């Protein structure tokens, strides 16, 4: 594994799910969109002066450069036939000299993302980003690429929406500098930045909870980016400096450098009135980063958790004493009308037994989470109606807990199990029934000696090398992202079946 994967998978293991703080570098990588300076250069080409003219007048200050460009672009927009369609559609919305430029910037980003698909070069990397387990996204970008990545996440645009709404902190995207879908929301010119900074203390207060309770992974920014520095400065001010030192473990800057050797190092971020320690992770690509972010899986989809939390919040806020007894139905099919039922003193599975997936049963064997499933129903109902006959799905735990097995691990004569289970038993007995299971050799010993490729390619032979179930369980928990990759997902499932056999399967001399 690369350094980024090793560090992040270990560092994030005991933390809450991270937030992504997304900068222009990500949109540039996947959608070929410009950074701020490139954007201004693009629109300066429509005026009588080059970009350098405006930048020079502004002494290199980009917000001021945007203000100067917006004033000249205003007259161009009203006269140039290339913008006639925009004038017909948006002319009534132009209320100040910057409006025209914002309209065209918004249209530019909207058209760039319309029908977006990642290039072949980055397709697998982008798919891993989509499968990452992140609590939410904060971005200063204008484009809606993050809504393509996480289409079920709720979007809050600009400071006003974030300040006056009730964000739940789960499955949400915060476009703090505005969105291309709302041109007037864009923080683009010097005047916009003055207004933004006048209220950034309130924004920082809203964001502070995320920063102190979750790791923040910065992608597409440099450590010297003014947007990042301003947010950090506001956060430290809002925290009154008392807990700023605790941020180090939670601030993770991913620094992409083509051809670089992976490296993790501590960095000092200098801000007004002090400094903050952070981790900088240098990577040649984002594969290991996104794989590490995909390790932890949720018991429920993030969007469903957000709806649950929102309803609980509304219930508490309204202090409504009239509870509702509702019909419990499939959570995926009716999540838009989801009602919350509370109970005390009982475990309840979210999915019906028949609706259990292969990975639900894998998670149950891994104990992450232990779903408290009724074993007799899992065997008779889930395996009776789900799972293809050639799949690898753990089942020994539920055979044993459901009392389908005798003391030696053979099916009791009167056991009524689906024919598919008997077929699986025959297959696993052939693959695993005569393995050596040597004592005293840890899983890590085998991993160090044989390498990960061997482990994944020889899931059955692994039990000739070790009987370390705890080590195998830890490995599977740390490498959940393999479930997202076509070849590895089958090998991962086989390893889970091997673990299930090892921990709950038939007894033999080697195990006793």
What's the whole-number mean pLDDT along residues 374-388?
83
pLDDT at 197: 85
Q: Among residues 185, 206, 205, which one has the least CA distance to residue 196? A: 185
pLDDT digits (tens, 9 = 90+) for 66-91: 999 999 999 999 999 999 999 999 99
How does pLDDT run across 281-328, given as a tens digit for each residue? 999 999 999 999 987 655 455 655 555 555 554 444 444 544 444 444
Give dist(CA 267, CA 276) in Å, integer: 8
pLDDT of residue 413: 87
pLDDT at 355: 65
- Average pLDDT for residues 200-207, to the nearest whole number? 75
What share of the chain in percent tops pLDDT 70?
A: 82
Backbone angles phi, psi at 344, to 5 degrees: -125, 135
* Whether the predicted pLDDT of 182 surpasses 80: yes
pLDDT score at 270? 80
At 165, is the pLDDT very low, low, confident or very high (cuts 50, 70, 90)?
A: low
Q: For residue 425, give every residue at least 6 positions away whose Cβ sits within 8 Å of its Cβ, in sequence order, or none.
A: 411
CA distances from 153 to 91, 170, 174, 227 (A): 32, 8, 10, 23
Of 138, 90, 109, residue with least CA distance to 32: 109
User: Mean pLDDT over residues 87-111, rounded?
Assistant: 94
CA atoms within 13 A on the CB side of 330: 7
Most confident of 156-170, 256-270, 495-509: 256-270
The confidence score (pLDDT) of residue 51 equals 97
Confidence of residue 148 (pLDDT cuts 50, 70, 90): very high
Q: 266: burial class by Cβ within 10 Å (0-12, 13-18, 19+)? A: exposed
pLDDT for residue 309: 58
- pLDDT surpasses 50 at 139: yes
Q: Using one digit for the tens of pLDDT, what is the confidence trace for 10-69?
A: 899 888 889 999 999 999 999 999 999 999 999 999 999 999 999 999 999 999 999 999
Cα separation values, 113 from 28, 106, 139, 144, 146, Å: 12, 11, 16, 7, 10
Residue 269 — pLDDT band, cuts 50, 70, 90? confident
Q: What 8-state DSSP symbol labels residue 462? A: G
Q: What pLDDT does 42 receive?
A: 97
CATH topology for 3-33+119-293 is Rossmann fold (3.40.50)
pLDDT of 370 strictly over 60: yes
Please state whether beta strands 274-283 and 263-271 pair in parallel, antiparallel, or not at all (unpaired): antiparallel
Percent of the chain past pLDDT 90, that is, above it, reads: 54
State both tokens at 487.
Answer: 């070849």
Asked whether the beta carbons of 347 and 374 are under 8 A apart, the reply is no
* Predicted confidence (pLDDT) at residue 349 exceeds the cutoff of 80: no
**Average of per-residue pLDDT across 132-158:** 93
Question: Could you write out the three-class secondary structure of 400-467?
Answer: HHCCCECCCCCECCCCCCCHHHHHHHHHHHHHHCCCCCCCCCCHHHHHHHHCHHHHHHCCCHHHHCCC
pTM: 0.64
What are the two backbone dihedrals, phi and then psi, of residue 268, each rounded to the nearest 5 degrees? -105, 125
d(CA 217, CA 12): 11
Residue 252 sits at φ, ψ, to 5 deg, of -125, 105
Q: Is the pLDDT of residue 499 over 90?
A: yes
Query: Which has the minimum average pLDDT: 53-67, 358-372, 418-432?
Result: 358-372
Domain limits, CATH 3.40.50.1220, in the chain: 3-33+119-293
When pLDDT is averaged across residues 383-405 and rounded to a whole number, the result is 87
């Amino acid at each position: 594994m690369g350094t980024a994967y090793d560090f992040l998978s270990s560092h994030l293991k005991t933390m809450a799910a991270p937030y992504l703080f997304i900068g222009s570098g990500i949109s540039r990588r996947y959608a070929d969109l410009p950074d701020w300076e490139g954007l201004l250069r693009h629109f300066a080409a429509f005026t009588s002066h080059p970009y350098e003219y405006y930048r020079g007048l502004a002494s290199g200050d980009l917000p001021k450069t945007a203000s100067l460009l917006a004033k000249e672009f205003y007259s161009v927009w009203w006269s140039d036939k290339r913008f006639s369609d925009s004038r017909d559609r948006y002319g009534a919305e132009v209320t100040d000299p910057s409006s025209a430029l914002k309209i065209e910037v918004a249209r530019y980003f909207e058209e760039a993302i319309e029908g977006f698909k990642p290039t072949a070069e980055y397709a697998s990397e982008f798919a891993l980003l989509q499968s990452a387990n992140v609590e939410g996204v904060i971005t200063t970008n204008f484009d809606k690429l993050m809504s393509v990545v996480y289409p079920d996440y709720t979007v809050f645009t600009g400071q006003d929406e974030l300040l006056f709404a009730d964000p739940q902190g789960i499955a949400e995207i915060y476009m703090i500098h505005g969105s291309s879908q709302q041109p007037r929301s864009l923080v683009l010119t010097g005047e916009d930045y003055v207004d933004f900074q006048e209220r950034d203390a309130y924004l920082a207060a809203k964001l502070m909870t995320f920063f102190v309770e979750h790791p923040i992974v910065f992608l597409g920014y440099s450590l010297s980016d003014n947007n990042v520095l301003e947010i950090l400065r506001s956060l430290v001010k809002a925290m009154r400096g008392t807990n700023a030192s605790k941020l180090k473990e939670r601030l993770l800057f991913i620094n992409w450098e083509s051809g670089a050797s992976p490296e993790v190092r501590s960095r000092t971020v200098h801000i007004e009135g002090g400094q903050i320690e952070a981790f900088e992770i240098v990577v040649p690509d984002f594969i290991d980063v996104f794989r590490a972010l995909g390790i932890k899986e949720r018991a429920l989809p993030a969007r469903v958790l957000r709806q649950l939390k929102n309803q609980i919040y509304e219930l508490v806020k309204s202090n409504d004493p009239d509870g509702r007894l509702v019909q419990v139905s499939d959570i995926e099919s009716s999540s838009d009308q989801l009602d919350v039922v509370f109970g005390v003193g009982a475990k309840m599975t979210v999915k019906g037994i028949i609706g259990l997936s292969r990975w639900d049963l894998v998670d149950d064997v891994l104990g992450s989470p232990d779903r408290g499933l009724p074993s007799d129903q899992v065997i008779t109902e889930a395996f009776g109606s789900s799972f293809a006959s050639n799949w690898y799905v753990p089942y020994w735990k539920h055979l044993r807990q459901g009392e389908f097995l005798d003391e030696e691990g053979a099916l009791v004569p009167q056991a009524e199990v689906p024919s598919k289970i008997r077929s699986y038993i025959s297959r696993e007995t052939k693959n695993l029934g005569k393995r050596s299971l040597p004592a005293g050799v840890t899983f890590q010993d085998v991993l160090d000696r044989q390498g990960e490729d061997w482990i994944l390619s020889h899931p059955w032979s692994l039990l000739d090398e070790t009987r370390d179930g705890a080590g195998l369980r830890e490995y599977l928990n740390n490498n959940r992202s393999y479930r997202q990759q076509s070849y590895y997902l089958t090998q991962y499932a086989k390893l889970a079946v091997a673990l299930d056999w090892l921990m709950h399967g038939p007894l033999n001399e080697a195990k006793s």
